[in-house]
A and B are shown apart, each in its own frame.
Chain A
Amino acid sequence: MSAQPERKDDAASESQWKSGSNLERVLADGHFAVTGELGPPKSMNTDIVRKKIGQLKGFVDGANITDNQTGIVRLSSIGTGIILEQEGLEAIIQMTCRDRNRLAMQSDLMGANIHDIKNVLCLSGDHQSFGNHPGAKNVHDVDSMQLIRMVQEMRDLNKFQGGEEIKGGGPRMLIGTAASPFSSPVEMRPFRLAKKVAAGADFVQTQMIFDMKLFKEYMKRVVDMGLHEKIKILAGVGPLKSPPMARFLNSDVPGIIVPEECIQRIDDAGKGIDADDKEARTAAYRAEGIKLCIEQIQEIQEIEGVAGIHIMAILWEAAVEPIVRGAGLYPRPVPADTPTPTPGPAA
């Protein structure tokens, strides 16, 4: 297997980067990374995409683009990602194992990479029974662990999963994964992360964290295992919008624990405001949600082994700017420009 000569425009830097993505460089430079999330619309309305881009650009180092999240058909992650790249916001495409077999995955990864998409988040995917096509047949040809390994071998060994060589080199992508520290069995979760490291993941974004005490315990175990040196860990955070939303997250979303004192804080923010003045109450809840999120980010920054945050403000993208500014994470670093690495094995 040998690298193809065509794209060898900068031989010196080529071995330095796995993907050459902005996120990879921010993390490599030791900056505290910030990623966000952008949910594509249930339509082909690109104005919605551009509006969300406007709300995130400049405040995050890259934005996850969900892949038919919760089993609901939406504008494709890769299609949306191409718009992000055109508009100067780095895309982190999500890819689930629910909708594609290994053929479609590999072909889509290459297709995304030729359109300058350089980050992929490998996920199992929400079950289709939660979405708007519950009668659909799911795929799960490979699981998320195997997907990580497949992308890694395509990138580092220039090899299709079936063993054939990818002539001219495989897609150069930074490989992300998700972790849910508080899902069961909790005591095994650091091992699951270790397995993802072994499979070849470069960075991980966690489920939304509100319970700092539990998260610190998790991180301590992760650091004791030395995992933080092998994978960049981005803690998931998100602003609580209202007391009902906080309660919903706590009771209905697996892996999310919202401590009672957090719910209470949001609730208290609305106290003393006339019950009929809905607008004022909403604004008070939201302001408190953002404030709480900022405080949590500051606390997370002090935890050993955390390399950044992943802000999940789905359907509330406007919250990202005040959070990032409030946490003192603005402006985002602009790493020295690096050319796209040449496909082929790293030297």
Chain B
Amino acid sequence: MIVAEQKPLEDLQRMLKGKKKVLAVGCGTCVSVCFAGGQKETRGLAAALQTAAAVDGEELEVHERTVQRQCVQEFIAPLEDDLEEYDAVLSLGCGVGVQTMAERFPKTRTLPGLDTNFMGQPTEPGVWEERCVGCGNCVLEYTGGLCPITRCPKQLMNGPCGGSEGGMCEVDTSIPCIWSKIWGNSENLNLMDMLMEVQPPKDWSTSRGGAMRRTVVRDDLHQPNADGRTTTTEVAAAKADAADGPEAEVEAPPADPNAGAREDAFLKELGLS
């Protein structure tokens, strides 16, 4: 899951300075599980922002809505009808949610209410730990299922540095040295031979070293729209174009008569219909 935390209230106050009416939009998926941007947190934050504004003698009205998945356009589409009345949207989605809002509603100012931290897991009550940085070329095969790209601060590929002491990492002695763990468990997994091989330099082109990554996971779901455009984001952009000038003759979505069926299939894929 994606783990995030709320920005400090002062930062949000600074961001919202001068705005009179704001819509806080929570998300019911990952950030709700880590108690950063679910319905409860969104409600709480809306109230806190209004109270803080009142204390400062400022006029601020904060409404709140929480969508099931802010990172999927279809889920945020219904917000559109009311957006005009707001000076800004404060998104309590992760960084993907914020951008989905910003791209779907390019005429509305979308502001980030959270700091998105990492992809990780809860390890004990109230604690989440990072597990994957999405390098696009998974090496867990060679490392006994534990990720040194994410969990070793030096992203070593060939065993522990000299800083590992008592099984802990020199960079943060409260965190286990992941290479100590990998090597420590190598006998159980019969990994020794593999660990003794010199792993060549990693191909980072699949990671942040390359351009923005785009993956088409399911060709059967991926069909160009009637106008040849391919993504729902672009349909939204086309719609915005249409509103701007007469040349663009694109209908508001669904432009493609099958789009509705495809969206249904898509939602079904996500287990949501």
Contacts and interface: CB of A to CB of B under 8 A. Distances in A.
Given A141-B204, A146-B200, A199-B198, A97 B165 contact: no
Interface string B178-197: 00100110000000100110
Given A140-B154, A185-B183, A146 B198 contact: yes
Contact of A138 (B154, B167, B200): B154
Contacts of A183: 160-165
A73 to B, nearest CB: 19
DSSP majority for the B interface? loop
A143 interface: yes
Nearest to B192: A191
Interface in A153-194: 161, 178-180, 183-185, 188, 191-192, 194
Given A184-B166, A184-B167, A198 B180 contact: no
A138 to B, nearest CB: 7
A254 B159 contact: no
A39 to B, nearest CB: 18
B171 A255 contact: no
What band does the interface of chain B fall in when counting residues whose beta carbon is under 8 Å from A? 20 to 34
A102 interface: yes
B136 interface: no
Given A129-B171, A188-B183, A195 B164 contact: no
A287 interface: no
Contact of A195 (B153, B161, B163, B196): B196
Interface centre among B161, B164, B200 (most CB of A within 10 A): B161
A83 interface: no
B130 to A, nearest CB: 16
Interface in A188-232: 188, 191-192, 194-195, 198-199, 207
A116 to B, nearest CB: 28
Contacts of A126: 163
A325 interface: no
Contacts of A25: none
A310 interface: no
A145 B167 contact: no
A97 to B, nearest CB: 7
A97 B157 CA distance: 12
B177 interface: yes
Contact of A145 (B159, B171, B183, B184): B159
Contact of A184 (B160, B196, B200): B160
A149 interface: yes
Contacts of B159: 145, 188, 191-192, 195
Contacts of B161: 124, 144, 180, 183
Interface in A267-313: none
Given A140-B154, A198-B196, A161 B201 contact: yes
A185 B180 contact: yes
Interface centre among B159, B162, B184 (most CB of A within 10 A): B162
Contacts of B184: 185
A115 interface: no
B158 interface: yes
A142 B192 CA distance: 22
Nearest to A124: B161
A178 B162 contact: yes
Contacts of B164: 183-185, 254
Nearest to B204: A141
Contacts of B201: 102, 141-142, 146, 150, 161
A192 B160 contact: yes
B34 interface: no
B199 interface: yes
Nearest to A194: B196
A18 interface: no
A192 B180 CA distance: 12
B196 A127 contact: no
12 contacts: A141-B201, A144-B158, A144-B161, A149-B198, A183-B163, A184-B177, A185-B164, A188-B160, A195-B159, A207-B162, A254-B163, A255-B165
- Nearest 4 A-B pairs (CB), nearest first? A180-B162, A145-B158, A254-B165, A140-B155
Given A142-B201, A145-B199, A184-B167, 6 more contacts: A127-B170, A144-B161, A146-B201, A184-B160, A188-B160, A199-B198
